[in-house]
Structure 1
Amino acid sequence: MMYPITFVSLGPGEAELITLKGLKTLQSADRIFYPATISKDGVQTSRALDILSELDIDANKLVPFHVPMSKDRSLAIDAYNAVSEEIKKQYKTGQRICVVAEGDSGFYSSIQYIFDNLSDSDFPVERIAGIPAFIASGALAKIHIVKQEEELNVVPGIISASDLKERIESGKVVVIMKVSQCAEAIKECICEKLDATYHYFENVGVDGKEYYTKNTSDILDRKIPYFSLMIIHK
């Protein structure tokens, strides 16, 4: 029996936030490919591996693929193409293959390049849903992200101050992923003292590293890291 190649969403960082379906799929897999990065001093880091380890997934199943952290996206694309070819080879041996992604694998996930490569090559693929970071952030802050007739806008970190101001003033709830990419635009809106609440988060779901504040002075003074997001309410 040939099983589909399954893309399993790990959730935002806390191991227990994976779905039961996702966990069972990982436990029954023969090979699990997970993303990792290599620092300049040669050290591998992977939030996905941290989650898999906490879930007690057999380490013998795990296969890292290294994604270059570079503004030159062609390097990352080459890495995704290379792991896609390796997955195809292992799939043809009859193994049950999983590819994992943090958050939800269909929500701003670079795993899409692997998914599309396999799908375009007529390999059977499926995806198991997970919890994206902004949903976990709402729970951490004890807020309703949207309610009643409110409209939600999700922005991938690339937005101007004028565009952001317009969305806030129109009454939309704005979720900003990768806050570091538009930190100056956010700070400009804060300094204009718009009628809004800025819920700021870092490393949601990562034990010992979570950070949340809605204090605008703290946000203005803070150095914004890569793993950050914001929810803005008018």
Structure 2
Amino acid sequence: MKGKISGVSLGPGEPELITLKALKALQEADIIYCPGTQTKSRSRDILQALPINMERVRLFHVPMSKDRTLANQTYDSICTEIAALVATGKNIAITAEGDSGFYSSVNYMFDKLASMNLPITTIAGVPAFIAAGAISGLHIVKQEEKLVVLPGIITAEELDSLLTSGHVVVIMKLSQCTSEIHRFMQTNRQHEFHYYENVGTINELHSTNYEDIIQKDYPYFSLMIIRPGKQLA
């Protein structure tokens, strides 16, 4: 019999935020593929805190670059390896931080495996911005408010247009748009800025201090939630 493949969402970082369904899939897997290196892996840190057999975990390193050529070559190689394992009856889990369907590059692997006629079941997780709202007690959207979630490719002018029209804005991957965020904040102090780092870890940070946020050099694991304020006269 062929094995099965599960795309397992781990949540933003706190092990207790993983779902029971995801934990069950990890415990039933013969092999768990986990992004990271031998010295650094947020996904592995989550796995180590869970009741699973770490001997089943295989780390794979994905080159981080806007040019996805090398990353996709890595994914292709792993997918070929997984296909061979599934053919021998092995059950495979592929982990992703946050939710695997939400700005997750691991979806390239899921699409590749599906194109190889290997059905994959994906298991939902908690996105980082939802966990961020929870740790700060923030009601992210209220009543009929509209929410826009953006990657770190945004201009100050686009932000102004969205917030002026009453949208609540979530920006992921802040490190890609630091200068534009700073530029926007300089002339739009009236809005409500919530800044987060390392959500779901022991080093998590939440700040609403305007002076601190506008001077920060945002790291990779950061995000911001901006609620529109009253327009200044």
TM-score scaled to structure 1, two decimals?
A: 0.94
1:29-40 correspondence to structure 2 within 5 Å: 29-37=29-37
For the pair 1:46 / 2:57, whether they are aligned, the reply is no
How many corresponding residue pairs?
Answer: 228
- Kept in 2, the 8 Å contact 1:178–1:228? The answer is yes
Unaligned runs of 5+ in 1: 38-42
Q: Deviations over 1:143-171 (max 9, x none)?
A: 11111000010001101110111111111
1:194 offset after TM fit, Å?
A: 4.4
Determine helix, strand or coil for the equivalent of 1:44: coil
Equivalent in the alignment of 1:226? 220
| Residues 1:112 and 2:107 are matched in the alignment | yes
The residue number in structure 2 matching 1:215 is 209
Match of residue 40 from structure 1: none
Task: Provide the residue aligned with 1:132 in structure 2.
Answer: 127
Structure 1 equivalent of residue 231 of structure 2: none
Q: RMSD of the alignment, in Å?
A: 1.1
Residue from 158, 169, 181 that aligns with 1:186: 181
Cα distance between partner residues in 2 of 1:195 and 1:3 = 55
**For the residues of structure 1 that align with 2:167 and 2:161, how far apart are their CA atoms?**
9
Distance 1:143 1:70 in 2: 33
| Same amino acid, percent of matched pairs | 52
Where does residue 103 of structure 1 map in the other structure?
A: 98
Moved more, 137-146 or 54-63: 54-63
Shift of 1:56: 3.2
Distance 2:4 2:124 in 1: 15
2:117 pairs with 1:122: yes
1:180, 1:228 within 8 Å by CA — same for their partners in 2? Answer: yes
- Given that 1:164 and 1:185 are in contact with CA atoms closer than 8 Å, whether structure 2 keeps it comes out as no
TM alignment of 1:187-202, pairs within 5 A: 187-202=182-197
Runs (4+) off by over 4 Å: none
Q: TM-score, normalised by structure 2?
A: 0.95
Letter of the 2:32 counterpart: I
